[in-house]
Structure 1
Amino acid sequence: MFRYIVRRLLQMVLTFFGATFLLYALVFANQEDPIQALAGERPITQNVRQVLTERYHLDDPFLTQYWYYMKGLLTGDFGTSLTGRSISDMMAQAWPTTIRLALMAIIIAATVAIVAGVISGIRRGSIFDNVTLVLTLVILSLPIVVLAPLTQLIFGIKLGWFPPTTGADPGFFKLLMPALVLGSLVVATELRVTRTSVAENLRSDYVRTARAKGLSRQRVIGVHVLRNSLIPVITLIGVDIGQLMAGAIVTEQVFNIPGVGFNLFRGIRTEDGPLVVGFVSILVIIFLVVNLLVDLLYAALDPRIRYE
């Protein structure tokens, strides 16, 4: 296990440098006029052009520029946005909100998917199973750009069950509807994977052996079937982190949530290169760490899995 962790950490370092290199190149190096890309659509005076050239080392070769960027990133200095605000301060304000939203979405989606998936897998062909499959098809067919404003219109404006917008420092209730919308991105896939995994494990030899030994149905399902069925679901949850971060861009913009997605949307729209690069670099780190933790959970769920 120790060697596996060391090997994965080395892979994470290489992946991080590769991803940030591509990100930096896409945002800055491929622009015909990097200074104009930094300033967006605003006209640039000669003084402003000179200041931006010195601040972002645009007179230096590309690899030198990337070195300055990585040096600041590894020391916690993310620079300043084109609005003049410190990107580190913007992250300190945005990340707590997005973390709360993402955790709520993951917990809601995983709870619904596992409970409904287990029931559907046990009762294949029942009314509950058929209704669940139809609902998952409907959810999968609705993109987040349609579902988010539609949910806001129906449940926030028409029915008034939830606040239509959240504003600064939203609490649990204000984040509930956005979390439900964001969780819908992954709940259908997780539910179907859970259902399929449970149905396959119920037909396994170890289940028949456990029943032959006289174990109760609840113990067979709760201890043996569910534990083995959770392995692909846990894998999917780790992969879904990236999808949730992408969906947060739309969700936070629609519900006016001042989080990471909201800032990224604004940065992309205004071509604020430093802001986009800083926030996405942290997202890369989070995605790598979460996938490592998911891999390490395999051994806890199934003792037969070893990484040596």
Structure 2
Amino acid sequence: MFRYIVRRLLQMVLTFFGATFLVYALMFANQKDPIQALVGERPVSESQRIALTERYHLDEGFFMQYWYYMKGVLTGDFGTSMTGRKIYDMMSDAWPVTFRLAIIAIVIAAAFSVTAGVYSAIKRGGIFDNSTLLITLVLLAMPIVVIAPLAQLIFGIQLGWFAPTATRDATFYQLLLPAIVLACIVIAPEMRVTRTSVVENLRADYVRTARAKGLTRMRVIWVHVLRNSLIPVVTLIGVDLGGLLAGAIVTEHVFNIPGVGFNLARAINTEDGPLVVGFVSILVILFLFINLLVDLLYAALDPRIRYE
């Protein structure tokens, strides 16, 4: 296990540098005028050009510019946004909001999809199974850019069941509707994977053995079958966390939630390159560690799995 963790950490380092290099290159390297790209459509005076050239080392080669940026990132200095604010301070304000939103969304998605998936597998071919299949097809066919404004209009504005927008110190009630919207993009695949995995395990030999020992059907399903069935589901949930952070860009923008997605959407619209690269760098780190954690959970769910 130790060698596996070390190997994965080395892979994560290479992936991090590769991903950040690609994002940095896409934001700056292909621009004919990198200073104009930094400030967007605003006019730039000669003094501003000199200051920006010195700040971002634009008089040096691209690889040296990337080295200076990574040196700052590794020491906790993400630079300054084009608005004049420190990117680290903006992250400190945005990440807690997005973390709360993502946690609420993943809990809602996991609880609903696992419960419905198991029950669909038990009652496969029945009304509930066919109904959930229809619901998952509808959810898969509707992108987040459709679900978010539609949910805000119907449940937030017309019916008034939820708060249509959120404040900086967003409460659970304000984040509930956006979290449900985010959960909708991952519920469908998680539910179908859970159902398929449970159906396969119900046909396994250990299930017949457990039933022959006198264990009740519900105990066999919720204790033995569910544990073995959760391995592919945990994998999918780990991948979905990255999808939730990506979906948060649209959701936070629609519901005016001042989180990571809201700041990224605004930075992309205003062509704020340093802010985009800074936030994406942290997203890459989080995604890599989430995937490592998911891999390590395999051994906890199934002791038969070994990495050495």
Instruction: Note the alpha carbon deviations across 1:191-245, whole angstroms, 9 max, x for none.
Output: 0000010011101111112212222112211221000000000000111112111
Instruction: Note the alpha carbon deviations across 1:135-164, whole angstroms, 9 max, x for none.
Output: 111111111111100000000110011111
Aligned-partner Cα distance in 2 for 1:217–1:130? 23
Instruction: Note the alpha carbon deviations across 1:3-27, whole angstroms, 9 max, x for none.
Output: 1111111111111111111111111
Aligned-partner Cα distance in 1 for 2:212–2:165? 56
> For 1:1-308, what aligned pairs fall within 5 Å after superposition?
1-308=1-308
Residue 167 of structure 1: how far off its partner (Å): 2.0
Instruction: Note the alpha carbon deviations across 1:95-146, whole angstroms, 9 max, x for none.
Output: 0000000000000000000000000011101111111110111111111111
Query: What is the root-mean-square deviation in Å for CA atoms of aligned residues?
Result: 0.7
Which AA in structure 1 matches 2:267?
G
Which AA in structure 2 matches 1:169?
D
Which AA in structure 1 matches 2:11?
Q
Structure 1 unaligned residues grouped into runs of 5+: none
Aligned-partner Cα distance in 1 for 2:178–2:100? 11
SS of the residue aligned with 1:160?
coil
Which AA in structure 1 matches 2:88?
S
Provide the identity percentage: 75
Which AA in structure 1 matches 2:26?
L
Which AA in structure 2 matches 1:276?
V
Which AA in structure 2 matches 1:247?
G
Which AA in structure 2 matches 1:127?
I
TM-score by length of 1: 0.99
Which AA in structure 1 matches 2:210?
A
Runs of 4+ aligned residues of structure 1 deviating over 3 Å after TM superposition are none
Aligned-partner Cα distance in 1 for 2:232–2:143? 24
SS of the residue aligned with 1:219?
helix
Aligned-partner Cα distance in 1 for 2:10–2:62? 25
Aligned-partner Cα distance in 2 for 1:56–1:241? 33
Aligned-partner Cα distance in 2 for 1:210–1:163? 48
Aligned-partner Cα distance in 2 for 1:88–1:276? 12
Aligned-partner Cα distance in 2 for 1:143–1:216? 41
Which AA in structure 2 matches 1:119?
Y
Aligned-partner Cα distance in 1 for 2:256–2:266? 12
Aligned-partner Cα distance in 2 for 1:164–1:248? 16
Aligned-partner Cα distance in 2 for 1:98–1:132? 29
Aligned-partner Cα distance in 2 for 1:56–1:179? 38
Higher mean Cα deviation, 42-51 or 146-155? 42-51
Aligned-partner Cα distance in 2 for 1:105–1:13? 29
